[in-house]
């Protein structure tokens, strides 16, 4: 809740928005800020196109923030593609997990250190053998579930709505693990357990913390 909206205040001159969900962004006149003419916008869930956009951003010293909105859609469209559905056997699932593994490694190892990348994802609830719930990101295939993609990320924020009786609902990011999710942030990066869902503020905290 509020994932895409959290990027409303980012500077479009230094941001690349990869819109894999291919729907209108939820803030006013987004098309004036992000478009193909400015070369800061890609509307595609095609893996080769996404990977190429990341490589081009690496070469562009102006780009400091990349939004992949959403990574969930990249995986879903991969699985729902005619080519994937027409292929039999388990090998196709290995290719899927391999492509997503390459995506994460490209982000972590190939991009410039001064680029901050946000993979926006949808959550789902898993239950262990004792019936205890664990909230984590949605992935496609058992291999991706086993290696837990969140382990590749430095931080995992959970977008939520804070409801206080008598006050307007507040969209937030949760910064602390509750024991029933995969939320995590570096020690002492955030003082509060909940922060405004504004990626500009998150960016500022990351830049200050790592001195980048």
Q: Which helix H or strand E contains 41, and what residues bound it? A: strand 41-42
Closest to 15 measured CA to CA, from 59, 73, 57: 57
Of 205, 164, 200, the C-alpha closest to 185 is 205
Predicted TM-score (pTM) of the model is 0.93
Under CATH, to which class is 4-210 assigned?
alpha beta
* Tokens 């893996």 sit on residue: 47
Where exactly are the structural domains of the chain? Answer: 4-210
pLDDT of residue 187: 94
The model's pLDDT over 171-204, given as tens digits with 9 standing for 90+, comes to 999 999 998 999 999 999 999 999 999 999 999 9
Q: What pLDDT, in 10s, does the model give residues 22-55?
A: 999 988 889 999 999 999 999 999 999 999 999 9
Could you please report the per-residue DSSP string of 140-193? SSHHHHHH-GGGG-S-B-EEEEE--TTS--EEEEE-S--SSB--B--TTT-SSS
Q: Alpha carbon of 159 to those of 116, 137, 162, 176: distances in Å?
A: 18, 12, 10, 12
**Distances in Å between the alpha carbon of 118 and those of 25, 86, 156, 163?**
16, 32, 9, 26
Q: Give 88-100 pLDDT, tens digit per residue.
A: 989 999 999 999 9
Chain-centroid distance of CA 94 in Å reads 22
What's residue 210's pLDDT?
95
As a whole number of angstroms, the distance between CA 133 and CA 13 comes to 41
């Amino acid at each position: 809740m509020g994932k895409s909206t959290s990027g409303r205040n980012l500077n479009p001159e230094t941001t690349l928005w990869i819109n894999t969900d291919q729907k209108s962004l939820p803030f006013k006149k987004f098309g004036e800020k992000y478009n193909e003419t400015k070369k800061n916008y890609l509307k595609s869930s095609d893996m080769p196109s996404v990977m190429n956009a990341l490589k081009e951003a690496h070469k562009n010293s102006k780009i400091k923030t990349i939004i992949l909105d959403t990574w969930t859609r990249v995986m879903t469209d991969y699985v729902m593609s005619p080519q994937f559905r027409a292929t039999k056997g388990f090998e196709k699932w290995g290719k899927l997990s391999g492509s997503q593994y390459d995506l994460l490694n490209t982000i972590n190892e190939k991009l410039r250190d001064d680029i901050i990348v946000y993979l926006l994802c949808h959550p789902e609830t898993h239950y262990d053998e004792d019936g205890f719930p664990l909230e984590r990101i949605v992935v496609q295939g058992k291999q991706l579930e086993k290696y837990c993609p969140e382990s590749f990320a430095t931080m995992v924020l959970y977008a939520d709505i804070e409801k206080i009786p008598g006050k307007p609902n507040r969209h937030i990011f949760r910064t602390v693990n509750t024991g029933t999710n995969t939320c995590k942030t570096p020690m002492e990066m955030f003082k509060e357990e909940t922060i405004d869902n504004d990626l500009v503020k998150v960016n500022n905290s990351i830049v200050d913390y790592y001195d980048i």
